[in-house]
C-alpha cells in the first residue's frame, strides 16, 4: 500500500495530443485488455473486478464486483450495461475529462464490463448539457465500430456488443440510477421504489447494471494488470485511485487523479496550491454538494478515502471538493444549494417537492433580515420531515446537509436573526 | 395551427434509432431533441406528431417534455445565454456575470430581447466547476469567464 500521488490509472493519456482519436489511443494501450479478457470467462472477469475492490465513483461507493455478481446468468430478456454519464452533482466535473480526453478507454471498459455481465447492448446516458462531450463520445463510438471493436465479432472474437449514446435533457435526478433507467425508457425521470433485498436494476424487464463513467474506465487496468496491481494503490477498504475535482476558493482548480488515502491537508496545499489569494479556509464540502459541510478545524486528520471522511462526519461522494474561504457567508452558500435542490427535486414525493421549497423560502427570509428563532427551528422541523419519508435518497441527503450547515455554523445564522 | 413533421434527415434518424432500443418508448427524448433542433422549441403540434409516432397520447409527451429543463416549451431567442449559478460558480462571481448580461441586453433572467435574438437564463450546475464562472452560450461552454469575454461573445452574436 502506498500513496504515490503521481500514479495515473484513468488519466494516464489525458495529456497526450489527440488522445481521443482511435489511432493515438491504440498507440497508448487502448483495447489491449481485450486479449486477456476474452481468454477469461465472464465469471472470471466479474471475480477479478470483485477482488480488486473497485468502488463505484458516482457517489455511492458500492463495490462494483458485488453489483455485477447480482446479475442472473440466465434470463429471458437481454441483459444491459448502462453507463451513467449524467454528471450533475454540484462540484463534480470529472467524468467529462474521460469523455473528452480518453473516450476509447470508456469503450474498452464497456466491452470488459458488458462481457462480464453478459450484455450485448450497452447505453451511455449523458447529460443533455454536455453537447460537446456527446459529440466527442459519438465520434469515438463511430471509430470503434469502423475498426471492428464494436458490433458483431468485437475485435474478431465471438462476441457482439452495440453501444448507443442517449442524451438526457437537464434533470439532476436522472443521475440516480433508477430515475436514469425510467428516463432511458422514455419517461419522466422519477426514481423507482427499491426492493428490500439486493438485486440488479431492470431496463424494460432485462437485468441491468448501471455504473458511473469513471468506474467503467477503471476496469481495463484491473483486467490487464490484475486485481493485485490495482490494490497496490489506495487503502485496504478504498483501493485504487479516484479523480478528485477541486473547485471554489482554491488556487489551482481542476481534476486530479490521486490514490485513495492521501492527506486532505496535503492535497489542498500540494495539489490545490492552497486557498485562493492566500486566504484562510473556512469550510469545505468534500464530495459534491450532497455531502455534509466540514469546518476547517475538522479536516486536520482526514485522508481522502470513504472511511476516513465518513468517520469525520461527512462522505467522500463523487470526490468533487468545494472550498469556501474565510469571507464566505455560510447561510448564503446554503441558500444557493437549496435553490438547486428545490429546482431539482423531481416532484414525485410531497415531502421533498414541498420541503426543499420551504427551506429555500425560509433561508430567503433569514437572509433578508426578517428571520426569527422560530424560522431557524422550522428548518430543523423541515429536515425531520424530509428524512426517511421519500422514495429515493435525495430528500434524506438534503436534510442531512441542511443540518450540518445550521449546526456547524450556528453563530452565522443566529447573527442574521431578528431576536 | 401549422402541421409538424420530421425533416427527411430526422425521419431517417428516427428509423435508425428504432433498431437500437428494445421498445420505441425510449425514443421520446431523442425525438424531442430532434424536434427542438429542427424548429427551436417543442410546439404543441410537434407533440401531437410525436405522440402518434410513439403510439401514445399528446398529454404523455407534454408530461415528459415539461419534466426536462432543456426542452423549450415556448420559442426562445436565437442565442440562449445560460449562466451557471450553483455554488462553485457562485463563489467565483457568477452573479457579476448575470448582472452584466442583464445590463448589457436590457432584459432580466428568464426574458428574451424584443428582436428575439437573446434569451437569458440562470441554470443549475453545468458540471464546469473547475473553470468557474461559466456560461453555456448556445450549448457551447464558455469557461473561466470575464466580463470582457462575455462582451466579446455578445458583440460577435450581435454582428452575426
The three cell numbers of residue A281 are: 479556509
- Locate all alpha helices (DSSP H) within A53-176, ordered by sequence: 64-69, 95-101, 103-117, 131-146
Euclidean distance between CA atoms A290 and B128, whole angstroms: 17
pLDDT at A208: 98
Maximum alpha-carbon separation in chain B: 50
Q: Which residues of B touch A128 (CB under 8 A)?
A: 33, 68, 70
pLDDT band of residue B1 (cuts 50, 70, 90) is low
- Same topology, domains B8-67 and B79-159? Answer is no
- Taking the Cβ of residue A94 and every Cβ of chain B, the question of whether any pair is shorter than 8 Å is answered with no
Query: Is pLDDT above 90 for A419?
Result: no
Q: Where are the domains of chain B?
A: 8-67, 79-159
- Mean pLDDT within B9-14: 98
Q: Which residues of B touch A328 (CB under 8 A)?
A: 91
Domain A22-231 of CATH type 1.10.10.10 = no
Domain B8-67 of CATH type 3.40.605.10 = no
- Taking the Cβ of residue A135 and every Cβ of chain B, the question of whether any pair is shorter than 8 Å is answered with no
Gap from A188 CA to chain B (nearest CA, Å): 5
Q: Which one is the CATH code of A330-414: 1.10.3720.10, 3.30.310.220, 3.30.70.260, 1.20.1440.230? A: 1.20.1440.230
- Taking the Cβ of residue A163 and every Cβ of chain B, the question of whether any pair is shorter than 8 Å is answered with no
Q: Which CATH architecture has domain A241-325?
A: Roll (3.10)
- What interhelical angle do A42-52 and A213-225 show, nearest 10? 100
Interface contact B124-A343, CB threshold 8 A? yes
- Taking the Cβ of residue B88 and every Cβ of chain A, the question of whether any pair is shorter than 8 Å is answered with yes
Residue A159: which of A122, A114, A203 has the closest Cα?
A114
- Mean pLDDT within A51-60: 96
Interface contact A91-B129, CB threshold 8 A? yes
pLDDT at A4: 81
- Locate all alpha helices (DSSP H) within A92-244, ordered by sequence: 95-101, 103-117, 131-146, 177-184, 213-225, 227-231
Cβ partners under 8 Å of residue A125, min gap 6: A82, A83, A84, A85, A86, A166, A168, A174, A180, A183, A184
User: Residues A126, A133: contact at Cβ < 8 Å?
Assistant: yes
pLDDT digits (tens, 9 = 90+) for A172-220: 999 999 999 999 999 999 999 999 889 999 999 999 999 999 999 999 9
pLDDT digits (tens, 9 = 90+) for A147-163: 999 999 999 999 999 99
Q: Which residues of B touch A170 (CB under 8 A)?
A: 68-71, 123
Mean pLDDT of all residues belonging to chain A: 97
Q: What is the CA angle A334-A336-A337, rounded to 5?
A: 65
Positive/negative CA dihedral, A150, A178, A245, A10 = negative
Q: Where are the domains of chain A?
A: 22-231, 241-325, 330-414
pLDDT digits (tens, 9 = 90+) for B40-99: 999 999 999 999 999 999 999 999 999 999 999 999 999 999 999 999 999 999 999 999
pLDDT at B132: 97
Return the number of CB contacts < 8 Å for A and B: 141
Task: Report the percentage of chain B scoring pLDDT > 70.
Answer: 99
Q: Which of A167, A184, A188 comes nearest B64 by C-beta?
A: A188
pLDDT at A105: 98
ipTM of the complex: 0.97
pLDDT digits (tens, 9 = 90+) for A205-263: 999 999 999 999 999 999 999 999 999 999 999 999 999 999 999 999 999 999 999 99
pLDDT digits (tens, 9 = 90+) for A359-395: 999 999 999 999 999 999 999 999 999 999 999 999 9
CATH superfamily of the B79-159 domain: Glutaredoxin (3.40.30.10)
pLDDT digits (tens, 9 = 90+) for A76-134: 999 999 999 999 999 999 999 999 999 999 999 999 999 999 999 999 999 999 999 99
Amino acid at each position: 500500500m502506498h500513496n504515490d500521488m503521481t500514479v495515473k490509472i484513468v488519466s494516464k493519456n489525458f495529456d497526450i495530443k489527440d488522445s481521443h482519436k482511435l489511432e493515438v489511443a491504440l498507440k497508448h494501450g487502448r483495447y489491449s485488455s481485450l486479449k486477456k479478457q476474452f481468454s477469461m470467462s465472464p465469471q472470471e472477469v466479474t471475480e477479478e473486478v470483485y477482488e480488486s475492490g473497485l468502488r463505484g465513483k458516482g457517489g455511492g461507493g458500492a463495490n462494483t464486483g458485488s453489483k455485477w455478481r447480482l446479475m442472473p446468468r440466465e434470463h429471458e430478456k437481454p441483459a444491459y450495461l448502462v453507463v451513467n454519464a449524467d454528471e450533475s452533482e454540484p462540484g463534480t466535473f470529472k467524468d467529462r475529462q474521460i469523455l473528452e480526453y480518453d473516450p476509447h478507454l470508456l469503450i474498452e471498459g464497456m466491452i470488459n464490463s458488458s462481457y462480464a455481465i453478459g450484455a450485448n447492448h450497452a447505453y451511455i446516458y449523458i447529460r443533455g448539457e454536455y453537447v460537446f462531450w456527446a459529440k466527442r463520445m459519438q465520434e469515438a463510438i463511430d471509430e470503434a465500430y469502423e475498426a471492428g471493436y464494436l458490433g458483431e465479432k468485437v475485435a474478431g472474437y465471438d462476441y457482439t456488443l452495440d453501444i448507443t449514446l442517449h442524451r438526457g435533457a437537464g434533470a439532476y435526478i436522472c443521475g440516480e440510477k433508477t430515475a436514469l433507467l425510467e428516463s432511458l425508457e422514455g419517461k419522466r425521470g422519477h426514481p423507482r421504489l427499491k426492493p428490500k433485498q439486493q438485486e440488479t436494476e431492470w431496463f424494460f424487464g432485462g437485468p441491468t447494471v448501471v455504473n458511473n463513467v469513471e468506474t467503467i474506465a477503471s476496469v481495463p487496468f484491473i483486467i490487464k494488470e490484475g486485481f493485485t496491481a490495482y490494490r497496490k494503490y489506495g487503502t485496504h477498504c478504498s483501493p485504487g485511485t479516484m479523480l478528485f475535482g477541486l473547485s471554489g476558493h482554491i488556487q489551482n482548480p481542476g481534476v486530479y487523479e490521486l490514490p485513495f488515502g492521501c492527506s486532505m491537508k496535503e492535497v489542498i496545499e500540494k495539489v490545490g496550491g492552497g486557498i485562493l489569494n492566500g486566504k484562510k479556509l473556512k469550510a469545505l464540502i468534500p464530495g459534491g454538494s450532497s455531502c455534509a459541510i466540514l469546518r476547517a478545524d475538522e479536516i486536520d486528520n482526514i485522508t481522502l478515502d470513504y472511511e476516513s471522511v465518513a468517520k469525520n462526519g461527512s462522505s467522500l461522494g463523487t470526490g468533487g471538493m468545494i472550498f469556501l474561504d474565510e469571507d464566505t457567508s455560510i447561510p448564503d452558500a446554503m441558500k444557493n444549494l437549496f435553490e438547486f435542490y428545490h429546482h431539482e427535486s423531481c416532484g414525485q414525493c410531497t415531502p421533498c417537492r414541498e420541503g426543499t421549497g420551504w427551506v429555500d423560502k425560509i433561508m430567503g427570509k433569514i437572509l433578508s433580515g426578517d428571520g426569527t428563532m422560530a424560522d431557524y427551528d422550522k428548518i430543523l422541523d423541515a429536515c425531520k420531515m424530509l428524512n426517511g419519508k421519500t422514495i429515493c435518497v435525495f430528500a434524506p441527503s438534503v436534510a442531512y446537509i441542511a443540518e450540518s450547515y445550521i449546526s456547524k455554523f450556528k453563530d452565522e445564522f443566529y447573527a442574521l436573526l431578528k431576536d | 395551427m401549422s402541421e409538424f413533421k420530421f425533416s427527411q434527415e430526422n425521419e431517417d434518424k428516427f428509423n435508425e434509432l428504432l433498431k437500437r432500443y428494445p421498445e420505441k418508448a425510449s425514443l421520446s427524448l431523442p425525438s424531442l431533441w430532434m424536434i427542438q433542433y429542427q424548429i427551436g422549441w417543442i410546439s404543441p403540434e410537434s407533440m401531437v406528431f410525436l405522440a402518434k409516432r410513439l403510439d401514445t397520447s399528446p398529454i404523455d409527451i407534454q408530461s415528459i417534455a415539461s419534466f426536462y429543463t432543456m426542452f423549450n416549451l415556448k420559442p426562445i431567442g436565437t442565442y440562449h445565454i445560460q449562466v451557471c449559478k450553483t455554488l462553485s460558480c457562485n463563489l467565483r462571481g457568477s452573479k457579476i456575470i448575470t448582472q452584466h448580461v442583464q445590463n448589457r441586453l436590457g432584459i432580466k433572467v428568464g426574458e428574451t430581447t424584443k428582436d428575439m435574438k437573446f434569451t437569458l437564463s440562470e441554470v443549475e450546475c453545468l458540471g464546469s466547476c473547475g473553470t468557474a464562472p461559466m456560461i453555456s452560450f448556445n450549448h457551447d461552454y464558455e469557461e473561466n469567464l470575464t466580463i470582457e469575454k462575455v462582451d466579446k461573445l455578445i458583440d460577435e452574436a450581435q454582428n452575426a
